Chain A
């Protein structure tokens, strides 16, 4: 079997008496879409923050692409190819859509201690940024201020920024959160088009999205992973059903 692209061993994080992450072993194989689901308060956000570097685990390690990245900051992990989208839309609202994506390209184009030439006229940033916008279907909205995009478009922009960093792994934190039915179907179709090409960790509440996209699913309950398996296996798992207390899986 190939070595996992991302792997955690014995990850543990507490906040006072609350054990938010409780000895999590987790792995993501190259090319797979691995979903993390769990009831509210299961510790999904705490977990993903330890993958991205926003939180440090109390104990345990995070390995990425064969390297221990546990002590690395968010920007360092990003430059190693770990890109993240946020549950609550996090974009540059006062910049245009194209500026948003061009900044993500720029972050991975060497240092930015360049003081003279206009970044907005730099085709080595603008061209790839336009390409990514086209890929996510936002090319016609390139010059609109991000604040003026619809909620669905802002979610797409968020993914576009993650993609523009040419990541080896995408951490998607509830990419269809707050979307209408049509918008969320379009987003799911778009994410499906990335499958195989990109390795994805998908944290999501929307079960349609999870069961459509995931190759494997891990179920997080009270900071522990109680099951990992294919969608079919997870659907049949009694413990998982109990955790969701009759919610339709």
Chain B
């Protein structure tokens, strides 16, 4: 079914696709970098939205997979393996394995326990990153060579890298759209809506929730691999709980359990950050205390747009 929302999402994607030529025309390569960053975080937020929005599991540790994905690239590169297929494959695989381990424990719980367990595991990984001197410890390490794809695509070419990220974003939007409307997705949302009823009609929620947790972790692992290539640098900060909080905020700001929400949320948060810090039209006192003004704007959005930015769009998704 094609709704007005689908058209709006398509329009946003078209705009994103048009960024590289426009940025080149305006000689503002900075915007290419900024929007690539937005899209990478959008991919991470899309993956979090699967468990937080559709699954009703408030994970406060999603940055773990950003970190694992980034370290998969960084650690292999550190040991001289710069093959992107291997690096990204490891990013996805290791994230899935860690998600399976964390999920097998946390998914049995709910509410505050779920939040605390996901947070605790992620902090554990964070301190692991801090403690390993070989990989830079606290300071992190530089990624000397970006992931190599046997000449197929060169990530040092900003435009090529941009369109790769764009392609992955579109693919993930489509995959989640299929997934949440499939039989699997219906069970996932049913458990969120009413767990007792779901058990009573004959579903065991656990395997479905765990599978979602793993899929979500694996998706975010790929976002981590992209992020390492984006910054050409990685630190344990990628896994810090404040980063998990940012991802949650992107999902909630954009509108939970909506297709376009995570993209809108990531774009709004990162672009606002950038605008408040950098726009020369704004007075100096805004630049100096930009976090404060960002906070005020975010509070207003949460207060007045309960369904997030996606809720402000015309039309409605079937499951809103």
Contacts and interface: CB of A to CB of B under 8 A. Distances in A.
Interface of A: 52, 54, 73-76, 78-79, 83-84, 86, 90-95, 99, 102-104, 106-108, 112-120, 122, 125, 161-162, 164-165
Contacts of B197: 86, 90-92, 161
Interface stretch (B11-19, B31-39, B188-196, B280-288): B188-196
A165 B199 CA distance: 12
B199 to A, nearest CB: 4
Contacts, number: 99
10 contacts: A74-B200, A75-B203, A78-B201, A79-B202, A86-B197, A93-B193, A94-B193, A103-B190, A108-B201, A112-B183
Contacts of A107: 198, 201-203
A79 B204 CA distance: 10
B289 interface: no
Interface in B197-242: 197-204, 207-208, 211
A99 B199 CA distance: 16
Contacts of A116: 178, 182
Given A108-B202, A112-B183, A116-B182, 4 more contacts: A74-B200, A86-B197, A103-B201, A118-B181
Contacts of A93: 193-194
Interface of B: 178-179, 181-187, 189-190, 193-194, 196-204, 207-208, 211, 318-319
A106 B196 contact: no
Given A112-B187, A115-B182, A120-B181, A165 B194 contact: no
Contacts of A120: 181, 186, 318
Contacts of A114: 182-184
A160 to B, nearest CB: 11
A106 B186 contact: yes
B204 A73 contact: yes
Contacts of B208: 112-113
Most A C-beta atoms less than 10 A away, residue of B185, B187, B319: B187
B184 A92 contact: no
B278 to A, nearest CB: 41
A74 B186 contact: no
A95 B319 CA distance: 7
A46 to B, nearest CB: 16
